[in-house]
Amino acid sequence: MKKLVSLSRRDFIACAFAAVGSAALAGCGSSSSSSSTDASDASSGSDSYTLVKAGTLTVASDLANPPLDYVDTDTNEPAGFEVELMQAIGEKLGLTSEYLSPMKFDTIIPTVKQGGTADVGVSNFTITDERKEEIDFTDPYLDSNQGLVTKADYDFEDQEQLNSEDIKIAAQSGTTGESWVQENLPNATLVSLDDPVVALTGVSSGLYVAAVADLPVMQYLVNNSYTDCKVALEIPTGEQYGIVVSKDNPNLTAAINDALAELDSDGTLSSLKEKWFGADI
């Protein structure tokens, strides 16, 4: 893989997946990251909830975690499992799902908590007690573990061989992958980065010995873009992903939970998992 150090982050992500096609998604186009000053109430009565923009479910994401969310290289639009999930949720609620321009992962929760810019955060967020102190989560929509990636020819025996200050391990800042490295490889040199794509580029080039991120993302990347790398260790963390919603908007959380339940019962959720992961994981 060519080194793309001169590209912008958005273009870098798009180029990384040039060999991987995806469909354009109606109603999920990128928009300006500026917030709307005209917040609106949806529904009526005691079930009403607030939206940044009338008729629109505004989504914040880093769009850097294929196959869950990324920028399609052909359309320059958001694509992936979570993007289509949010489109389906929006349809259930009678809303259009609209993504903001990509933002750093560790800024998404503060953005949703503050309000006025995004209604929800969707970027494979693991539901944790620490995060629930800041925001609310919907019911989970996907189970996951962590994956540790090395070069394909790296002689990996166990994680303890990485627990040395001479070993550089990359992880996305603010993620459970970063926390796992801190807790389980305390002697290693942790390098916190903006997204898994940059982390795997570093592993591929030899800059880092390993990278840790969500297993579905790591499996997808090594199978499609970083074929000189391998998932050396599947880490059974037993995580679940949820949609981030402000604590000030509990009826929106409830409405999304109702939509998720309908998508589960009518088979849409299973179909999306089969499409993007090859199995109903």
CATH number for domain 145-239, candidates 3.40.190.10, 2.30.110.10, 3.40.50.1820, 3.80.10.10: 3.40.190.10
Which two tokens mark 272?
């999306």
Convert the pLDDT of each residue in 18-28 to its tens digit: 434 433 333 34
**CA atoms within 13 Å, Cβ hemisphere of 105:** 24
Confidence of residue 43 (pLDDT cuts 50, 70, 90): low
With contact defined as beta carbons under 8 Å apart, do 59 and 30 qualify?
no
Report yes or no: 20 and 66 within 8 Å, Cβ to Cβ. Answer: yes
Give the H or E element holding residue 49: strand 49-51
**Percent over 90 (pLDDT), the chain:** 81
**Which pLDDT value is given to residue 154?**
97
Contact 219, 147 (CB under 8 A): yes
CATH of 9-141+242-277, one of 4.10.91.20, 3.40.50.1820, 3.40.190.10, 3.30.9.10: 3.40.190.10
Q: Does this chain's domain 9-141+242-277 share its CATH topology with 145-239?
A: yes
CA gap 106, 236 in Å, rounded:
23
For 61-108, write each residue's pLDDT tens digit: 999 999 999 999 999 999 999 999 999 999 999 999 999 999 999 999
Q: Using an 8 Å Cβ cutoff, are 16 and 56 in contact?
A: no
Q: State the average pLDDT for the chain.
A: 87
Q: Closest Cα to residue 205, out of 173, 238, 245, 168? A: 168
Among candidate residues 92, 119, 95, 91, the one with its CA nearest the CA of residue 35: 119
Determine the pLDDT at residue 9: 41
**272 alpha carbon, distance to own chain's centre:** 16
* CA–CA distance, 138 with 84 (Å, rounded to integer): 17
Model's pTM, two decimal places?
A: 0.80
Tens-place pLDDT, residues 177-186: 999 999 999 9
Distance CA 93, CA 56 (A): 10
Supply φ then ψ for residue 214, to 5 degrees.
Answer: -60, 135
Beta-bridge mates of residue 168:
189
Which has the closest alpha carbon to 215: 193, 190, 240?
Answer: 240
| Mean pLDDT to the nearest integer, 205-209 | 98
Domain ranges of the chain: 9-141+242-277, 145-239
The reported pLDDT for the residue numbered 255 is 98
Rg of the Cα trace of the chain? Answer: 19
Q: Note the Cα 50 to chain centre separation in Å.
A: 24
* C-alpha closest to that of 171 among 212, 140, 131: 212
**pLDDT band for position 40 (cuts 50, 70, 90):** low
